[in-house]
Amino acid sequence: MPPPEQADTPRTSSKTGSSAVATANQGRASMRTRMNHARRAAKGSSRLRVVGLLACVAMLAAACGGGDAAETEQPDESAAGAEEDTTDSADQGSDGNDGDTGETDAAEDEGPAETLRIGVHPAAFDAGFLHMAEEQGFYEKHNVDVEFVELQSASQALPALVAGEVDIIEQSPGALFIASQQGETDVAIVGSSMMGIPYTIYASKEFESLQDLEGASLAVSSPTGLPALVANLILADAGVDLSTIEYVNAGGNADRYRAVVAGTADAASSPADFVPQAEDDGVNVLALSTEALPDYPRYTLLARRAVLDEKPDAVVRYLAGLIEGLRYAFDNPDEAKALAADHMGVDLDDPRVAYMHELIVDGGLVSPNAEIPREKLEFQEQVLLDIGELNEPVDLDAFIEESFLDQALERVGGAR
- Are 308 and 178 in a shared domain? yes
Q: Are 142 and 321 in contact (CB under 8 A)?
A: yes
Q: Identify whether 118 is part of a domain.
A: yes
CA angle at residue 196 from 17 to 230, to 5 degrees? 115
106 and 234, same structural domain? Answer: no
One domain for residues 25 and 39: yes
Residue 283 belongs to domain with CATH number: 3.40.190.10
3-state SS, residue 387:
coil
- 255 and 229 assigned to the same domain: yes
b/e map 304-329, b = 16+ CB within 10 Å: beebbeebeebbbbbbbbbbbbbbbb
| CA end-to-end distance (rounded Å), the chain | 40
| pLDDT reported for residue 236 | 95
96 domain residue, yes or no: yes
- Tens of pLDDT, residue by residue over 208-255, are 999 999 999 999 988 878 899 999 999 999 999 999 999 999 988 899
What is the reported pLDDT for 110?
73
Parent domain of 230:
199-292
- Residue 386 included in any domain: yes
> CA 129 to CA 329: how far, in whole Å?
6
Q: What per-residue confidence (pLDDT) applies to 387?
A: 86
Q: What is the DSSP string of 310-363?
A: H-HHHHHHHHHHHHHHHHHHHH-HHHHHHHHHHHHT--TT-HHHHHHHHHHHHT
Same domain (yes/no): 237, 370: no
Q: Is residue 249 part of a domain?
A: yes
- Residue type for 324, please? E
| Domain end position, chosen among 292, 320, 354 | 292
List beta partners, residue 302.
169, 189
What separation in angstroms does the CA of 71 have from each of 63, 87, 118, 361, 399? 12, 27, 20, 23, 28
- Position 98 in a domain: yes
Closest CA to 350 of 338, 366, 332: 338
User: Per-residue pLDDT tens for 18-61?
Assistant: 332 232 233 333 333 333 433 344 333 334 333 232 333 333 44
Are 92 and 233 found together in one domain? no
Residues 322, 256 within the same domain: no
Residue 416 domain-assigned (yes or no): no
Radius of gyration of the chain (CA): 20
CA pair distance 26, 315, nearest whole angstrom: 32
Both 232 and 330 in one domain: the answer is no
131 lies in some domain? yes
β-sheet bridge partners, residue 271: 199
* Among 254, 292, 294, CA closest to 274: 254
Q: Please say whether the dihedral angle defined by the alpha carbons of residues 245, 249, 250 and 256, taken in this order, is positive or negative.
A: positive
What is the count of structural domains for the chain?
2
Strands (E) in 221-332, as ranges, are 246-249, 267-271, 283-288, 299-304
Q: Give the bridge partners for 268, in sequence order.
A: 202, 219
Give, for 159, the enclosing helix (H) or strand (E): helix 154-162
Give yes or no: residues 188 and 203 share one domain: no
167 to 192, 322, 370: CA distances (angstroms): 15, 15, 18
Paired strand residues for 147: 117
pLDDT-flagged residues of the chain (< 70):
1-109
Please tell me whether residues 210 and 302 are part of one structural domain. Answer: no
Sequence letter at residue 104: T
In this prediction, residue 105 carries a pLDDT of 52
HSE toward the beta carbon, residue 325, CA cutoff 13 A: 32
190 and 212 both lie in a single domain: no
pLDDT at position 156 is: 85
Q: Which of 242, 271, 292 is the last residue of a domain?
A: 292
Answer whether residue 281 is part of any domain.
yes
Q: Are residues 188 and 64 in the same domain?
A: yes
Which pLDDT value is given to residue 86?
A: 31
Please compute, for residue 278, the number of CA atoms within 13 A of its CA located in the half-sphere on the CB side: 24
Domain C-terminal end among 268, 292, 316:
292
| Cβ neighbourhood burial of 414 (10 Å; 0-12, 13-18, 19+) | exposed
